[in-house]
Amino acid sequence: MGRTHRSRQRRAPKSITHPADHELHSLHVLYGQLNGLGWRNETQLSALHFPQTRRGLCSKRQGFRAGDELIRLPADCLISISTLESDEKFKALFNKDLFNKDERLSFQALVACYLMHQQHLHDTSKQSAFSAYLDTLPRSYTMPYFCIKSELQCLPEALLERIVAQHRQLSENYQIIKSLVGTQQCECCGLLYCEDIWTLADYKHAYFTVNSRSVYLNPRLLKAERSHFQSLLSGNTNLALAPFLDLFNHSDSVQTTAELQLSKSGKGHDYVLVMEAAAKPELQPYEQLFISYGALPNLKLLTDYGFYLERNTHDFFEFSLADIEHFIAQNRKTSSQTYHRNIFKFIREHNLYDQMFVHIDDGCSHNLRVVLHLIFKQQAYFPNILNQIAFGDAVQFVDVQPELSFLVAHKISEYRDYVKALNQLSQLTESGAVARDYLLECVRYLRDFESVHCQSSE
């Protein structure tokens, strides 16, 4: 275990700073509350501010190698389905008679309600069991979802699509919450739910808190005594909020595992994170400790978590059929040609537009190659012949290099225009600034792809 390679106490490098006083205070209270629930902080983790990520975790005393535990947090510290099921006041807000099997709620949305519930207790009576945790949560988020209208107008389709999907999901769930809770008045203060408290703005914030900070959890190991919410929920309940543990930032250069294990005392479970592999053989005290949220590309990191990684090893760049159509319309050579609509119909019917991406190491994906070939390199438009071509010998798709190069170049110029448009706005919100920097990272990625895979272009 980690203790065997404890190093001598070191000083923190100058670039690493302590959080501001109010944050330090909340963290201190959080340590105390989690300690009361059985957490021993065996790896001596501290939350500090690092130059690249701002807040993050390190150990001031201990070094870490592959196989070491990063944290062992008792399951009682988590906000999981069993927390919600054992909270009588919270359950009382959701009248089972109103549950409708056609209008179910995602578990994520219900946990968001729980956060709003605790926040209101905290605001009105300081009685929330999770007060310290609530105080350590970010006040605002940087997903493109929170971009203002003028910024949204400068974002590419690929981002807008995700934002629209998030809007739809959020408002559908909020309508259901409103129909269940909205007419009630709060016992403590008489305020009306979903009007004065649990407002849409509160809900959005809580929803993205859950979206970006929850951990995966096998709920079968947590005995939820009764199941008040069972007939309300769609999908599974395999996520939980993990106070303090959620301060670990993500890196693409580490591998970590997370699982519920029987606690050492034999009573209950611990949520245990283990570092399986890292970029270096040993991490020194004061070096930030990262975990892996999964092998996620930047688009996913940005839209769900509000950040991206430079030179993310899991990144790729995806194209849509609309991208190819735009490219055809704007390119002088291709726009003068006609493309039989059967070809586009065939591509859509066979889902060939799915998985059309470029990858810096692997080149052009199979589907992108097939689609470019079908559109630009063959004359047939009868479905049976298209079938033979699309699902026949893969070797014949190698001839799409010029089209691929044009497409990549087209995308680079399009993204540069979006960046330019964002830069022309008088001011960017934090979400807008992160989105702009993400677009620049996409341009960098595509430029690198171009230099490796499209030598003959331009």
Binding site for Zn ion (CB under 5 A): 124, 186, 188-189
Task: Kindly give the pairing relationship between strand 239-241 and strand 214-216.
Answer: antiparallel
Minimum CB separation of residue 111 from Zn ion in Å reads: 20
Rounded Cα distance, 164 and 159, in Å: 9
Q: b/e map of 45-74 (b: 16 or more CB within 10 Å)?
A: bbbbebeeeebbbbbebbbbeeebbbbbbb
Task: Kindly give the pairing relationship between strand 282-283 and strand 269-277.
Answer: unpaired
User: Which long-range contacts link 229-234 to residues 24+ away (Cβ below 8 Å)?
Assistant: 229/81, 229/84, 229/85, 229/91, 229/94, 229/110, 231/96, 231/99, 231/101, 232/94, 232/96, 232/99, 232/104, 232/105, 232/110, 232/180, 233/104, 233/105, 233/106, 233/107, 233/110, 234/104, 234/105, 234/106
DSSP per-residue letters across 292-321: ---S--HHHIIIIIS---TT-TT--EE--H
Minimum CB separation of residue 64 from Zn ion in Å reads: 44
The β-bridge partners of 56 are: 48
For Zn ion, the closer of residues 98 and 189 by Cβ is: 189
Instruction: Judge contact between 26 and 132, C-beta under 8 A.
Output: yes
Minimum CB separation of residue 369 from Zn ion in Å reads: 59
Minimum CB separation of residue 318 from Zn ion in Å reads: 46
Q: What are phi and psi of 327, to 5 degrees?
A: -60, -40
For Zn ion, the closer of residues 1 and 188 by Cβ is: 188
Residue 194, sorted as left (phi over 0), alpha (psi -120 to 50) or beta, turns out to be: left
For Zn ion, the closer of residues 192 and 440 by Cβ is: 192
Minimum CB separation of residue 98 from Zn ion in Å reads: 21
For Zn ion, the closer of residues 97 and 187 by Cβ is: 187
Q: Return the half-sphere exposure (C-beta side, CA atoms, 13 A cut-off) of residue 61.
A: 9
Which pair of structure tokens corresponds to residue 268? 């209950």
Minimum CB separation of residue 272 from Zn ion in Å reads: 37
For Zn ion, the closer of residues 23 and 202 by Cβ is: 202
- Sheet with 255-262, strands from edge to edge, namely 69-74, 269-277, 255-262
Distances (CA, A) of 167 to 164, 356, 377: 5, 25, 39
Rounded Cα distance, 235 and 110, in Å: 12
Instruction: Judge contact between 113 and 79, C-beta under 8 A.
Output: no
**Sign of the alpha-carbon torsion through 404, 408, 413, 418:** positive
Minimum CB separation of residue 124 from Zn ion in Å reads: 5
For Zn ion, the closer of residues 3 and 89 by Cβ is: 89
For Zn ion, the closer of residues 148 and 188 by Cβ is: 188
Q: Return the half-sphere exposure (C-beta side, CA atoms, 13 A cut-off) of residue 376.
A: 26
For Zn ion, the closer of residues 115 and 258 by Cβ is: 115
For Zn ion, the closer of residues 188 and 262 by Cβ is: 188
Angle, helices 383-390 vs 366-376, to 10°: value is: 140
Residue 124 burial by Cβ neighbours in a 10 Å radius (0-12, 13-18, 19+)? middle
* Residue for token pair 């990625």: 445
Minimum CB separation of residue 200 from Zn ion in Å reads: 18
For Zn ion, the closer of residues 186 and 321 by Cβ is: 186
Minimum CB separation of residue 120 from Zn ion in Å reads: 6
Minimum CB separation of residue 136 from Zn ion in Å reads: 23
Minimum CB separation of residue 112 from Zn ion in Å reads: 18
For Zn ion, the closer of residues 161 and 196 by Cβ is: 196
The radius of gyration of the chain from alpha carbons, rounded to an integer in Å, stands at: 25
For Zn ion, the closer of residues 129 and 421 by Cβ is: 129
Minimum CB separation of residue 127 from Zn ion in Å reads: 11
